[in-house]
């Protein structure tokens, strides 16, 4: 399984259920990497998508209230159940996409983390674990992503679990 996330320089990922930085290049990369695979997320992450479940992907949603979910998703009630739901899927095509509690519960099951790191700090109430401070993770590759339309510079960094 892989994690994919967009973070600010302090590893903030969200504020009041919304992304901190919007980037077409980041969204394009997310679509390109996850299309045709399986995405694992929490209920609030699903609810943050304006179009509902992500098309072209198997959506596995961790929730305590499966009745509140739209059709077209696989509902599970725990991170362990999410792992069971994706056990038959190609692990290279399974993507952990958030939010914070889901990342924290399942990041240790990931072999790679695809991080878009924005060179800015914004008010945040949700954070991704700082992989630069975790000796289990090493940078595999880094590439300059350019800048958003508002001038925020960013990089695409791939981390691999040692």
Which pLDDT tens digit goes with each residue over 35-63?
999 999 999 999 999 889 999 999 999 99
Residue 79 corresponds to which tokens in the numbers above?
Answer: 């991170």
The pLDDT of residue 41 is 97
Mean residue pLDDT of the chain comes to: 96
Number of domains in the chain: 1
Domain containing 63 — which CATH number?
Answer: 3.40.430.10
Report the distance separating Cα 149 and Cα 154, nearest Å: 12
- Percent of all residues in the chain with a pLDDT value above 70, rounded to a whole number: 100
Which pLDDT tens digit goes with each residue over 53-105?
999 999 999 999 888 788 889 999 999 999 999 999 999 999 999 999 999 99
HSE, CB side, 13 Å, CA atoms: give it for residue 34: 25
Q: The domain containing residue 93 runs over which residues?
A: 2-161
């Amino acid at each position: 399984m892989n994690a994919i996330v967009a973070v600010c320089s302090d590893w903030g990922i969200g504020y009041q259920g919304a992304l901190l930085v919007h980037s077409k290049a980041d969204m394009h990369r997310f679509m390109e990497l996850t299309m045709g695979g399986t995405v694992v997320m929490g209920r609030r992450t699903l609810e943050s998508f304006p179009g509902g479940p992500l098309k072209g992907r198997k959506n596995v949603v961790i929730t305590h209230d499966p009745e509140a979910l739209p059709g077209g998703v696989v509902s599970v009630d725990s991170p362990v159940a999410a792992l069971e739901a994706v056990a038959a899927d190609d692990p290279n095509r399974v993507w952990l996409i958030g939010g914070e509690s889901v990342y924290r519960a399942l990041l240790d099951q990931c072999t790679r983390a695809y991080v878009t790191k924005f060179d800015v700090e914004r008010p945040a109430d949700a954070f991704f674990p700082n992989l630069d401070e975790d000796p289990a993770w090493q940078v595999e590759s880094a590439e300059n992503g350019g800048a958003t339309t508002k001038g925020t510079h960013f990089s695409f960094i791939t981390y691999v679990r040692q």
